[in-house]
Amino acid sequence: MATTLAAPTLHRNVAEFLSKPRKMLVNGKWVDSVSGKTFETYNPATGEVLATVAEGDRADIEQAVKAARRAFESGKWPEMSPSKRGRLLWKLADLLEANLEEFAQLETLDNGKPLTIARVADVPLAIDMFRYMAGWATKVEGNTIPISSGGAKYFAYTLREPVGVVGQIIPWNFPLLMAAWKLAPALAVGCTVILKPAEQTPLTALRLGELAMEAGFPDGVFNVVPGFGETAGAALAAHPDVDKIAFTGSTEVGRLILQAAAGNLKKVSLELGGKSPNIIFPDADLSVAIPGSASGIFFNQGQCCCAGSRLFVHKSIFDEVVDGVAKVAKDFHVGPGFDAATNMGPLVSQEQLDRVCGYLDSGISEGAKAVVGGKKKSGAGYFVEPTVLVDTKPDMKVIKEEIFGPVVAAIPFSDPEEVLPTANNSIYGLAAAVWTRDIGKAHRTAAKLRAGTVWINCYNVFDAALPFGGYKQSGWGREMGHDALELYTETKAVCAQL
């Protein structure tokens, strides 16, 4: 069944892309799955089938790992000159830019997000990531090390070498951007990659594979195997010939990845869940703190691991802030991402809708009150109302667990000293924010927050140069910035007696 698309301006390449079953990219060729199986992806705005995609599993992962291993060991990628590798990444970015509208539309149809957002955030940030990492390809340097051991003289230095064959498993909330965060640094340093996109949203990763072939990446350097987590994902995480696995997704699956990786002790980096505190002090400029905090939770339908889902507000301004955030929630035009007026789309899937509604029911049945929202929107598609909860208790599930939807709990505080331990009282530590006009307080608070990112008087500011990752159960390692190079390189110490 073909989906009914509301947009009169559907890009012709998108229509063409969706019209045929999509194959997977293994060793530079577009192939069917070994089993011949396919799966369907859905348009979250309608619940209708959007595309048919080859369903990879263990056998396909096997082929892709073999191809990536060959491409690595033959030296055609790690030994290519760094400037040539950098130029290929830059070319991929240029192709992405030339096809920006097509990628934005594909992302909106597959994930549900507003097209206006995909155009200005998802695709441009992915382009930036490839360009930023293209620059690093020529700057992966070691050090010379003075040696103190007695007697002989030594010359010692370090090399940073690519870790090898890398498996990358990504989620559905920013499908193209997460692919870029993972692929760009790994490819820049000379690793070869098997990318497993989320089963809900494989389309932009597959289209990116086409652009990589067009750019001229050698066969086997960049493989894309769509499929389910329990089959394709688990096979990749457990594969004995994969040197490193990089994962973004839930903390629960992160633990499974770790267990699977234990077999050959492959390197692991994880970007997991969050329950980020967002603190508004009484001296904050509310004209920025209110819209900023609303965007901190509602951006991408709340499907952000760094979403500011616990909003701590000083009691002197609590009502004003809650009213302000609730007004933003009420004013959202919730609808299909393809509609020009939409500024909040549907959730990604029926499963995600059920999960978010389950949290809303749990919070409300335990005594929380929805100032605005609180339930599913009627009609087709996976739409939920943006929600502000008050009267929560610290032990409620809506306070402790990640909801991954447009649901914020507003919590009053009276003593600025006490808010920090409460804000830090979470198994997660991905992000946090603080709003105040007092620069000293802002930085003192930033220092005390146990989170990988702290925003001051802003939220959701991302940049290819700024490392991102979690404390505590929010993950291991940092993506983006030069920190990301460490995820994909080994340090070799070389010591010569002179």
Which residues of the chain form contacts with ligand ADP (CB under 6 A)? Answer: 169-171, 196, 198-199, 228-230, 233-234, 237, 249-250, 253, 256-257
Do 152 and 497 form a contact (C-beta atoms < 8 A)? yes
Which two three-digit tokens encode residue 338? 């393809």
Residue closer to ligand ADP, measured from CB, 26 or 170: 170
Q: Positive or negative, the Cα torsion across 63, 66, 70, 71?
A: positive
Write out the H or E segment, with its range, that includes residue 24.
Answer: strand 24-26
Nearest to 186 by CA among 145, 217, 144, 156: 217
Residue closer to ligand ADP, measured from CB, 229 or 374: 229
Helix, coil or strand: residue 197: coil
Provide the minimum distance between the beta carbon of 178 and ligand ADP in the complex, in angstroms, as a whole number: 9
Active site residues: 271, 305
Query: Closest residue to ligand ADP, Cβ-based?
Result: 229
Cβ partners under 8 Å of residue 126, min gap 6:
96, 103, 176, 177, 179, 180
Q: Which residues of 316-326 are buried (b: 16+ CB within 10 A; e: fewer)?
A: ebbeebbebbb
For the chain, counts of helices (H) and of strands (E): 17, 22
Judged on CB neighbours under 10 Å (0-12, 13-18, 19+), 178 is buried
Instruction: Show the 3-state SS of 97-122.
Output: HHCHHHHHHHHHHHHCCCHHHHHHHH
Residue closer to ligand ADP, measured from CB, 385 or 402: 402
Residue closer to ligand ADP, measured from CB, 113 or 131: 113
Which two three-digit tokens encode residue 292? 């900023």
Residue closer to ligand ADP, measured from CB, 85 or 196: 196
Do 410 and 368 form a contact (C-beta atoms < 8 A)? no
Residue 100 burial (CB count, 10 A): 17
